[in-house]
């Protein structure tokens, strides 16, 4: 069974900092990996999708890397803003989507 671990569980930073969110997963037999953000009590918004054959994806201030063989992915957030405050979920995908408990990010103005 796929186990997903995200470190840190919670993070509080001042506005403008560059951030690194880490994700590890136990089963490297995945089709792809998605990063989502979730605002409190809301659904999931897709941020980035990395296919298993890719190493990284970029969208604006976000960059995600994938090392499938070692079961690791990293989300970089540049120049953080208060609007980035949310829970970030790393989701490796096999025949279903596997979730950890995410990283709760608070960006302080």
Task: Pick the closer one to other proteins by CB: 7 or 78.
Answer: 7
CA distance 91 to 80: 22
Angle CA(57)–CA(17)–CA(60) in degrees, nearest 5?
A: 30
Q: What is the DSSP letter of 84?
A: G
If one asks whether residue 101 binds other proteins (CB under 8 A), the answer comes out as yes
Q: Taking CB under 8 A as the criterion, which residues in 37-96 touch other proteins?
A: 41-46, 49, 89, 91, 93-96
For residue 30, the minimal CB distance to other proteins (Å) is 8
Are the beta carbons of 1 and 65 closer than 8 angstroms?
no
Q: Which residues bind other proteins (CB under 8 A)?
A: 4, 30-32, 34, 36, 41-46, 49, 89, 91, 93-102
């Amino acid at each position: 069974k796929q186990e997903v671990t995200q470190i840190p569980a919670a993070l509080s930073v001042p506005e403008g900092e560059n951030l690194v969110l880490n994700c590890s997963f136990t089963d490297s037999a995945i089709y792809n990996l998605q990063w989502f953000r979730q605002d409190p009590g809301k659904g999931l918004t897709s941020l980035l999708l990395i296919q298993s054959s890719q190493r990284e994806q970029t969208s604006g201030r976000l960059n995600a890397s994938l090392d499938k063989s070692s079961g690791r992915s990293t989300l970089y957030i540049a120049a953080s803003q208060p609007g980035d405050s949310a829970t970030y979920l790393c989701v490796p995908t096999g025949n279903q989507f596997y979730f950890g408990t995410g990283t709760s990010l608070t960006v302080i103005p």
